[in-house]
Structure 1
Amino acid sequence: MRASLIQIAVSDGESVARRRARAADLVREQAGSDLVVLPELWTVGAFAYELFETEAEPLDGPTFEAMSKAAADAGVWLHAGSIVERAGDGSLYNTALTISPAGELAATYRKIHRFGFDQGEAVLMAAGDSLTTVALPEQTLGIATCYDLRFPELFRGLVDAGATTLVVAAGWPARRRAHWTLLNRARAVEDQSYVLACALAGTHAGVEQAGHSLAVDPWGEVLAEAGPEETVLHVDLDPEKVAETRAQFPALKDRRL
């Protein structure tokens, strides 16, 4: 399975509409891949809190419309990162969208762990309460978003639900990049799963983004890693590797808690 991680740069000088159109073009360019992944809140920027209210949209809003067409044009499964979702009751959620090669909405995930320590996202958005997996032909994706990465119990729950590849869309600050790499490798090792971690590049709302999207195999080996700039990272995953790893080193069977 070939995966492409689009590490898109977000800047204050580019409009949401322009970046949405540019991201759609980048998705179309990945025809031939099986899975394409975008970062968290790439439309507005994960720290551009003042835009959350004005740019919030329903699940079938302009971002889904653009990404649905792009996924269908490219013939790919698309984890379209996350949007600021406005629910029917007016609440805002940090919601990830997964779209099928037919352009249909296959799954959504409302971010459970909101970042901000009683500020920012943590007070502006409501928390999700359900885990999400998506069955692809050769892998089952477990979906997580950014700050979720610091909570290993979420990932263990995804593995219990059948996940073999863990997808993490993020807007991770550059000042904590060491944690980004460490935690993604840790989640791969402890859950004996592939990890596809796609982060924002650029700077928005005064926060420099880490970039350094990466793909990690079930042994914790980094298969591919980007730098800090906008780029597309390509990686080939062996569909049998997860089962082989879990059979060779069956640590998951020894769980007691």
Structure 2
Amino acid sequence: MRASLIQIAVDPDESVEARRVRAASLVVAQRGADLVVLPELWPVGAFAYTAFEAEAEPLEGPTHEAMAKAAAEAGVWLHAGSFVERADDGTLYNTSLVFSPEGERTAAYRKIHRFGFDQGEAVMMGAGEELVTVALPDTTLGLATCYDLRFPEQFRGLVDAGAETLVVAAGWPERRRSHWTLLAQARAVENQAYVLAVGTAGTHGDIQQAGHSIVVDPWGEVLAQAGADEEVLTVELDADKVRATREQFPALKDRRLGLTSPL
């Protein structure tokens, strides 16, 4: 399975519409891949909080339309990264979309863990409540977004739901880049799954982005990693390696659930 991670640069001087058109063209250029992945909140920038309200769109808004068309034109499975969704009740969500090679939406995932503690995304957006997996012909994707990467229980839940490839769309800051690499490898090792973690390049909201999108195999080996600038990272994945790893080193079978602490 060929996967292409598009580490798009988010430039505040580029309009959302222009970047939407450019992102679509980058997706179409990956024709021949099986799976293409975009990063978190690439239309506006993950830290561009002041733009969230103005650039929010309905689920089936312009980003949905552009990405559905791009997936169909390229003939790929497309994880279209995330955008600022405005729900029918007015609540904003950090929402990821997945499209089939026919351009049909097969999943929408609202980010569960919102970053910012008592500011930014944490107070501006609603929290998702559902784990989301997507069955592809060769693997099952488990969806996560940026800050989710710090919460291993979410990934355990995705694996329990059948995930073999964990996709993390992110807008991760440069100052915590070492955590990005470490956590991506940890999630791969502990879940014996591929991790495809794609971030943005550039600077938005005055926050320099880490870039360094990364692909990790089920043994924790880094198969490929991008640099700091806009880049497309393309990797060939062996879908059978997850099954083989779990059979050769069946650690997941030794989990002990329901343990309690002494009073």
**Stretches of structure 1 lacking an aligned partner (at least 5 in a row):** none
Letter matched to residue 234 of structure 1: T
In 2, the alpha carbon distance for the partners of 1:94 and 1:88 equals 14
Give how far 1:167 is off: 0.1
Q: How does 1:195-206 map to 2 (within 5 A)?
A: 195-206=195-206
Q: How does 1:229-248 map to 2 (within 5 A)?
A: 229-248=229-248
In 1, the alpha carbon distance for the partners of 2:175 and 2:242 equals 32
Instruction: Show the counterpart of 1:39.
Output: 39
Give how far 1:122 is off: 0.2
Instruction: Show the counterpart of 2:30.
Output: 30
Instruction: Show the counterpart of 2:87.
Output: 87
Q: How does 1:69-108 map to 2 (within 5 A)?
A: 69-108=69-108
In 1, the alpha carbon distance for the partners of 2:162 and 2:52 equals 33
Instruction: Show the counterpart of 1:49.
Output: 49
Residue 186 of structure 2 aligns to a residue whose secondary structure is: helix
In 1, the alpha carbon distance for the partners of 2:115 and 2:144 equals 13
Instruction: Show the counterpart of 2:261.
Output: none
Residue 126 of structure 1 aligns to a residue whose secondary structure is: coil
1:207 aligns with 2:207: yes
Letter matched to residue 49 of structure 2: Y
Give how far 1:205 is off: 1.2
In 2, the alpha carbon distance for the partners of 1:96 and 1:253 equals 31
Deviations 1:116-175 (CA, angstroms, capped at 9, x unpaired)? 011000000000000000000000000000000000000000000000000000000000
TM-score by length of 1: 1.00
1:181 aligns with 2:171: no
1:150 aligns with 2:150: yes
Deviations 1:69-93 (CA, angstroms, capped at 9, x unpaired)? 1100000000000010000000000
Deviations 1:167-220 (CA, angstroms, capped at 9, x unpaired)? 000000000000000000000000000000000000011000000001000000
Residue 51 of structure 2 aligns to a residue whose secondary structure is: helix
In 1, the alpha carbon distance for the partners of 2:139 and 2:86 equals 30
What's the RMSD between the two structures over aligned residues?
Answer: 0.4
Residue 44 of structure 2 aligns to a residue whose secondary structure is: coil
Instruction: Show the counterpart of 1:226.
Output: 226
Q: How does 1:134-149 map to 2 (within 5 A)?
A: 134-149=134-149
Give how far 1:11 is off: 1.2
In 1, the alpha carbon distance for the partners of 2:68 and 2:169 equals 18
In 2, the alpha carbon distance for the partners of 1:41 and 1:135 equals 23
TM-score by length of 2: 0.97
Residue 212 of structure 1 aligns to a residue whose secondary structure is: coil
Q: Which runs of 4+ in 1 moved over 6 A?
A: none
In 2, the alpha carbon distance for the partners of 1:237 and 1:12 equals 34
Instruction: Show the counterpart of 2:260.
Output: none
In 1, the alpha carbon distance for the partners of 2:127 and 2:254 equals 32
Give how far 1:59 is off: 1.0
